[in-house]
Amino acid sequence: MTQPLPPWTLVKTWLEIIQNEDIPPFVKQKRKKLLDYYFGSIELANMYVEQHQDCYQKVS
């Protein structure tokens, strides 16, 4: 059974967390595990976010 992917905005947030120097290492590690679980690598998670940015609409 294939696991559905999380919303791209959540994935984008996880990627931002692991790149932020001010976030504690244990928090970054949990997000990296989630990204590896869903995508297999950080690079594939980045590709997923880039591909789905076109669907984003700002709410004003």
Q: Is the pLDDT of residue 16 over 60?
A: yes
Neighbours of 46 (CB within 10 A): 15
Q: Show contacts of 17-20: CB within 8 Å, 24+ apart.
A: 18/42
**Region 10-37 average pLDDT:** 96
How far is CA 22 from each of CA 16, 18, 34, rounded to the nearest angstrom? Answer: 11, 10, 19
Identify the pLDDT of residue 53: 79
Q: Is the pLDDT of residue 58 over 80?
A: no
Per-residue pLDDT band for 52 (boundaries 50, 70, 90) equals: confident
Distance between CA 3 and CA 36 in Å, rounded? 13
Identify the pLDDT of residue 49: 92
